[in-house]
A = this chain, B = another copy of it.
Amino acid sequence: MAVGLGPLPTLHPVPGFELGIASAGIKRVGRKDVVVMRCAEGSTIAGVTTTNAFCAAPVLITRERLGGAVRYLLTNTGNANAGTGADGLANARRSCAALAALTGVAEDAILPFSTGVIGEPLPVEKIEAALPAALADLKEDNWALAAEGIMTTDTLPKGASRQFQHDGVTVTVTGISKGAGMIRPNMATMLGYIATDAKVAQPVLQDLVRDAANKSFNRITIDGDTSTNDCCMLIATGRAALPEVTEKAGELYAQLKQAVFEVFMEVAQAIVRDGEGATKFVTVQVNGGGNHQECLDVAYAVAHSPLIKTALFASDPNWGRILAAVGYAGVANLDVSLIDVFLGDVCIARQGGRAATYTEEQGAAVMAREEIAIRIELGRGDCSETIWTTDLSHEYVRINAEYRS
């Protein structure tokens, strides 16, 4: 039921970044569920991880090791290794140690990632057994299979790619993501991996991943549930024959930032398009806020309201539910007489009440679309925020009543 999400686009290889996929049989035999990524020596890496206090064991280890010289990223699906206590930490370290033994790199040059069911022991032997096959499969032109290898309840693989020219040199930014439920990223998404062959100093890369995630992964929500395993990693292999980016200025930085932001946005929005049970892709834009937080508060109140989400599923232009959500979003001293609300280009509410020009037919025409924009003008200031979400369908309930996440 993915909305506006087709087959994977061309995913350009990133020189210095290889991916290998294997089947460990963690949850189901024969499913691709282990992905190893190798970064060329001298790569820099930066990342953001979940703010959930119950973060998974691999997240704790990845946080410790970020900033050091990272050479491998080891991902498994089918088991989140979250809520697993000391055993979970030991299992995550053990899987890294196994990969270190096979490759000869230091253990702390390996970052572990897990996604899948919460609270079950990680079947670490199965992962260990699959590592040689994953290593044998390592190649730069393997992004599409890796995008499949990190899927859980996703119905389609997700990826995006950009290239730009600088001083006659082609620079590539390619990324993949996964996630369809338990999605309200807060510093990152379920899992996202984006690599470039630009050479970027680590502090610059860290700012870039934080800023890009804030405008993309941290602006999507499916069910309001922030996951225990969110991680988003940005890797710079430095293989492009260009000077190192050491500060947030200059044309190369600007080009790189543009390409990174575009890839982040595309793979983040792909998660919403493939949201559990989604039949609509919904943009919620809040303008005229006195500050960014109040814009976000209003946008998330609208995006999380089960009443609005079910109305979106029913293609019902039920603007009263939108006004109600704006009203309870917690904005201090909200003057409702200044508020306009638009569905697409149709003004449905003007100065806090039904717009005189509005007809039910106009609203119904917008709601019948698969991609719907809700725009709220607060009339309080100059700040704006935009987030993306889905509707709430019968299929969402079926999936989550049947699937053990």
Minimum Cβ distance to chain B for residue A86 (Å): 8
Residues of B within 8 A of A316 (CB): 401, 404
Q: Which of B83, B184, B307, B352 contacts A225 (CB 8 A)?
A: B307
Stretch from A14-22, A29-37, A155-163, A323-331 at the B interface = A323-331
- Cβ of A283 within 8 Å of any chain B Cβ, yes or no, is no
A349 touches B186 (CB 8 A): no
A326 and B398 in contact (CB under 8 A), knowing A307-B225, A320-B83? Answer: no
- Cβ of A223 within 8 Å of any chain B Cβ, yes or no, is yes
Stretch from A49-57, A92-100, A136-144, A243-251 at the B interface = A49-57
In the bound complex, what is the Cα–Cα distance between A53 and B337 (angstroms)?
10
Residues of B within 8 A of A170 (CB): none
In the bound complex, what is the Cα–Cα distance between A148 and B227 (angstroms)?
43
How many chain copies does the complex carry? Answer: 2
- Cβ of A167 within 8 Å of any chain B Cβ, yes or no, is no
Residues of B within 8 A of A52 (CB): 324, 327-328
In the bound complex, what is the Cα–Cα distance between A328 and B400 (angstroms)?
19
Minimum Cβ distance to chain B for residue A182 (Å): 6
Binary interface encoding of chain A residues 371-402 relative to chain B, with 1 for a CB under 8 A from any of its CBs, else 0: 00000000000000000000011101110111
B327 touches A53 (CB 8 A): yes
A53 and B336 in contact (CB under 8 A), knowing A82-B320, A321-B405, A405-B307? Answer: yes
Which of A53, A55, A186 has the most chain B CB atoms closer than 10 A to its own CB?
A53
Residues of B within 8 A of A119 (CB): 319-320, 323, 353-354
Interface residues of A in 287-346 (CB under 8 A from B): 304-307, 310-311, 313-314, 316, 318-321, 323-328, 331, 334, 336
Binary interface encoding of chain A residues 142-184 relative to chain B, with 1 for a CB under 8 A from any of its CBs, else 0: 0000000000000000000000000000000000000001101
B226 touches A321 (CB 8 A): no
Q: Which of B88, B226, B305, B351 contacts A223 (CB 8 A)?
A: B305
In the bound complex, what is the Cα–Cα distance between A310 and B324 (angstroms)?
24
Residues of B within 8 A of A318 (CB): 404-405
Residues of B within 8 A of A304 (CB): 224, 304
24 CB contacts below 8 A, A to B, read A52-B328, A53-B336, A54-B352, A82-B323, A83-B349, A83-B352, A83-B353, A84-B353, A85-B351, A225-B305, A225-B307, A225-B324, A225-B328, A226-B328, A228-B323, A306-B392, A306-B400, A310-B397, A310-B400, A314-B401, A318-B404, A320-B405, A394-B397, A397-B397
- Chain A residues in the interface with B (C-beta under 8 A): 51-55, 80, 82-88, 117-119, 181-182, 184, 186, 223-228, 304-307, 310-311, 313-314, 316, 318-321, 323-328, 331, 334, 336, 349, 351-354, 392-394, 396-398, 400-402, 404-405
Other 5 A-B pairs with CB < 8 A, given A80-B320, A119-B319, A320-B405: A52-B327, A85-B354, A223-B306, A307-B400, A321-B405
